[in-house]
Amino acid sequence: MKVLAFNSSPSKDKGNTALILNPFLEGMKEAGADVEVLYTKDLNINPCQGKFTCWLKTPGECFQKDDMQQVYPKLKADVIVHASPIYVDGINGPLKNLIDRCIPVAEPFVELRDGHCRHPLRNKTGTNAGKVVLVSTCGFWEIDNFEPAIFHMKAACKNMNRTFAGALVRPCAHAFQAMLAMGAPVKDIPEAAKEAGRQLVKDGEMSEETLNIISRELIPLETFIQMSNKTFEQLIEAANKS
């Protein structure tokens, strides 16, 4: 099984998203998957220009010669993992930009698929077979902050004719990172992320029980609000002194 993961956090392996993504991918490796990680921060990917050259003039080939050229052949992976922090109620710009540039894998024609208009894919045995997983973190306390991103991923999967295999989401992510550093009893969360990776490779799916551990409550809501406000007061004070 080939796995292609996109980590769109600007902090790469130092960010909150990596705290969930890395053990998840490690679990997949332990189960025998061939895993590759690409960081959007390291890629020079221009926005889609909407010229439709990849449909009309050079079918399947974008006129922009940037780092997407190395991404296109990899999109045949069995599992694609989109990892992003939540920015303004959705995936962040770099990941959305990358997804937008995947349009050359589709043809301009329209077909009815599962009762909905879709574009047929060029490679019937490659890019249209496999799964997609979302890994995401956010600073807020409520888990419903991930709903727009999950909805987007599900919609994109329908267009790519892939199966949405589920989401590993971690709210209250800044507190989670701090609690990990302090040695608080939260190690069950990365362990569950690793188990989810093993399950996906071995069983073809991730259990709801495992995913629920990853997103479990860390601290009461009122405590979260008090801690967050105190932290930002300290950060503002420190910034004004520098």
| Segment 5-63, tens digit of pLDDT | 999 999 999 999 999 999 999 999 999 999 999 999 999 999 999 999 999 999 999 99
Share above pLDDT 90 across residues of the chain, in percent, rounded to a whole number: 90
CA 205, CA 186: separation in Å to the nearest integer? 24
For residue 125, pLDDT over 50 is answered with no
Contact 91, 84 (CB under 8 A): yes
**The domain spanning residue 189 has which CATH number?**
3.40.50.360
What is the per-residue pLDDT across 189-236, written as a single tens digit (0 to 9) for each? 999 999 999 999 999 999 999 999 999 999 999 999 998 998 889 889
Containing structural domain, residue 176: 2-241
Give the Cβ contact number of residue 179 at 10 Å.
17
CA 72, CA 216: separation in Å to the nearest integer? 36
CA 168, CA 27: separation in Å to the nearest integer? 13
Predicted local confidence at residue 37, as pLDDT: 98
Number of H helices and E strands in the chain, helices first, is: 9, 7
Place of tokens 């188990």: 195
Contact 153, 134 (CB under 8 A): yes
Domain count, the chain: 1
pLDDT tier at 128, thresholds 50, 70, 90: very low
CA 55, CA 161: separation in Å to the nearest integer? 19
CA 139, CA 171: separation in Å to the nearest integer? 6
CA 146, CA 100: separation in Å to the nearest integer? 20
For residue 173, pLDDT over 90 is answered with yes
Amino acid at 5: A
Output DSSP code: residue 135.
E
Q: What's the helix, strand, coil split of the chain in %, to 5?
A: 50, 15, 35
Diameter over CA atoms, the chain: 61
Reported pTM:
0.94
Tokens of residue 211, six digits = 């995913």
For residue 116, pLDDT over 90 is answered with yes
For residue 131, pLDDT over 90 is answered with yes
